[in-house]
Structure 1
Amino acid sequence: MRRVAVLATGLFFLVLAQSELQNSNVLAFGSCAKQYKSQEFWDTILNVSPRGWLWLGDAIYASEIQLSIFIDCTSDCSSPKCIEEGYKSLESNSDYKRFKEQIPFIDGTWDDHDYGVNDGGKEFQYKAESQGLFLDFLDIPKNSMRRTRDGVYSSRAFSISDSRSQVNLILLDVRTHREQPLIESLGQYSNIPFSSVIAAVLRMLTSLIGYESIVSSFFSL
């Protein structure tokens, strides 16, 4: 038997997957934890005694650090200093500190806001520095092979209680080598109704039928 529970706290989404109702097989994962907002939800996650926690992107929002407290930050606050301060802000939160002390392990991958720039990709000038800060945040050892990779992708194997089976979890990095999309993200334009939905549909169509097909269809009208 398998149960999946989905919880939402503000803009923070959490999924708890439980196999055979045994806490030793519970993995919790989520994303979009804005470090400057309330972090009380961590106790809710601890209540189910998960085996570990996986970040699936946007552990922090570096671009939303207050620029006024830094002299050397860029105008969009994508500098390593701002990214580092974002992690410090989250790690200094008492709720997250308590969670981190009690959870067996924390791992994960990043998305654009903890990468350092909204909708960013391989062109980001601080991606190497940002990768180091992200791995520091995850407490990855300095001598780990992950420190030598060009990207934060990783994998981890889990044994299942009362079973000889294993689950191999593969975490991808969709930022470090990402090229600029042919269709710009419309989500940043708040004055366009349903902009995020429109952008998602356009990118899905581009992936399915190809950019050339879309352009050809448009100009043939």
Structure 2
Amino acid sequence: MKKTIFVLGLLVAFSACKTVKPVETTVTTETKPDFTIAFGSCNKHDEVNPLWDDVLAANPNLWIWGGDNIYADTDNMQQLRAIYAAQDNVPGYKKLKETVPVIGTWDDHDYGLNDGGVEFKAKKESEQEFLDFMDVAKDSPRRQREGVYAVHNYNLPKAKVKVLVLDTRYFRTALTPATDNKRRVQPNVYGEGTILGEEQWKWLTEELNNSEADFNILISSVQYLSNKHGFEGWGNFPHEVDKLKKLLVKTKAKGAMILSGDRHISEFSVDTVKDLNYPLVDFTSSGLTHTYTGFSGEENPYRVGEVVFVKSFGLLNFDFDTKTVNFKMIGDNGKVLGELKQTY
């Protein structure tokens, strides 16, 4: 079956390095979605987040944290706990939690160590604080397992949605410092190091092998496809990028997509994977309270459309009858800053 991809509300950017400005359009009336996911990342509890009312206005069935849900950067659990508590008491977020289920992952600043990975000494303690923030039951098996990865299944009348929350911190091995002054890090030697670690890869393989979902949504705190910017991302472990593509093909995963954060910009990246019968979308949404306002362009061979560098969150509207997902970047006052439609 021929799969189609549409880009709306954006000018397609064939030059990956040009300076770009967000294109704003007003949210238009459309058929009520069968399922709606809102997600976002890079959120400071002590800075104004103008978007919580817009998230609520989108009527999501689910809110997903994409990482850097708070900024703590600490191995002091008392301090970490206090910042989580402060975030829980932010009025807009508190109201959201009262009406919308919340799941998600972490990134380095709520993990506790900037650009941190397996070497962070307080990761076990930090994991428990994160699980408390996510209201995970004290007797949940997740409390006994290393890493915050998790699966959430939504069996709806017309379709099944599986959300696979990945942990790109707990097991991630060392990065390779860049040898030039244009990048912070550079890709590891092919085959060296890991992002997910052996146990998480085993878990992910089993989940995808056994998935009956019509849509398999992978949550990664760092970008999966964009690989030229010289910051953190899957591209620093190119063999892990290939491993995931092969896994999606081998398991015949339906409707797989990746939601990512970290970068303080929002963009759509799309790749055509051999033997995967739909384009693989990596939707980056970042950030909620602060953004890369000085952005002047960077290379991304997979980018579709333009980069948005104002405060925004991601929105996914599902139409189960047509197997279509409408991806949107939403700014303050419900402005649509970027939009992409994908039929699976």
Query: What's the TM-score, normalizing by structure 2?
Result: 0.45
Amino acid at match of 2:143: R
The answer to whether the aligner puts 1:40 opposite 2:11 as a matched pair is no
Q: Report which of the two has the higher share of helix.
A: 1
Contact 1:57 1:110 in 2 (8 A): yes
Q: For the structure 1 residues 203 and 171, does the alpha-carbon distance in structure 2 shift closer, same or farther, using more than 3 Å as the test?
A: closer
Instruction: Please list, as runs of the form range in 1=range in 2, the aligned pairs for 1:125-204 lying within 5 A after superposition.
Output: 125-161=121-157, 163=158, 165-183=159-177, 198-200=229-231, 204=235
Contact 1:24 1:51 in 2 (8 A): no
Q: For the structure 1 residues 194 and 39, does the alpha-carbon distance in structure 2 shift closer, same or farther, using more than 3 Å as the test?
A: same
Gaps of 5+ in 1: 7-19, 64-76, 187-191, 209-221
Number of equivalent positions = 174
Distance in 1 between residues matched to 2:81 and 2:39, nearest whole Å: 22
In the TM superposition, what is the alpha-carbon distance from 1:200 to its structure 2 partner? 3.8
Contact 1:2 1:21 in 2 (8 A): no
Query: What's the TM-score, normalizing by structure 1?
Result: 0.68
In the TM superposition, what is the alpha-carbon distance from 1:23 to its structure 2 partner? 4.5
Amino acid at match of 2:71: Y
Q: For the structure 1 residues 42 and 206, does the alpha-carbon distance in structure 2 shift closer, same or farther, using more than 3 Å as the test?
A: closer
In the TM superposition, what is the alpha-carbon distance from 1:195 to its structure 2 partner? 5.5
Distance in 1 between residues matched to 2:58 and 2:8, nearest whole Å: 11
SS in 2 for 1:147: helix
Q: For the structure 1 residues 167 and 2, does the alpha-carbon distance in structure 2 shift closer, same or farther, using more than 3 Å as the test?
A: farther
Aligned residue for 1:207? 238
Gaps of 5+ in 2: 10-29, 186-227, 240-344
| Identity across the alignment (%) | 35
In the TM superposition, what is the alpha-carbon distance from 1:173 to its structure 2 partner? 0.5
Instruction: Please list, as runs of the form range in 1=range in 2, the aligned pairs for 1:6-17 lying within 5 A after superposition.
Output: none
Distance in 2 between residues matched to 1:89 and 1:205, nearest whole Å: 34
Q: Deviations over 1:44-87 (max 9, x none)?
A: 00001100111111100103xxxxxxxxxxxxx33212211221
The answer to whether the aligner puts 1:99 opposite 2:96 as a matched pair is yes
Distance in 2 between residues matched to 1:55 and 1:149, nearest whole Å: 20
SS in 2 for 1:199: coil
Taking CA–CA contacts closer than 8 Å with sequence separation of 6 or more, which of the two structures ends up with the larger relative contact order?
2
Which range moves more in the overlay, 80-89 or 198-207?
198-207
Distance in 1 between residues matched to 2:103 and 2:233, nearest whole Å: 32
State which of 52, 55, 60 in structure 2 corresponds to 1:50. 60
SS in 2 for 1:34: coil
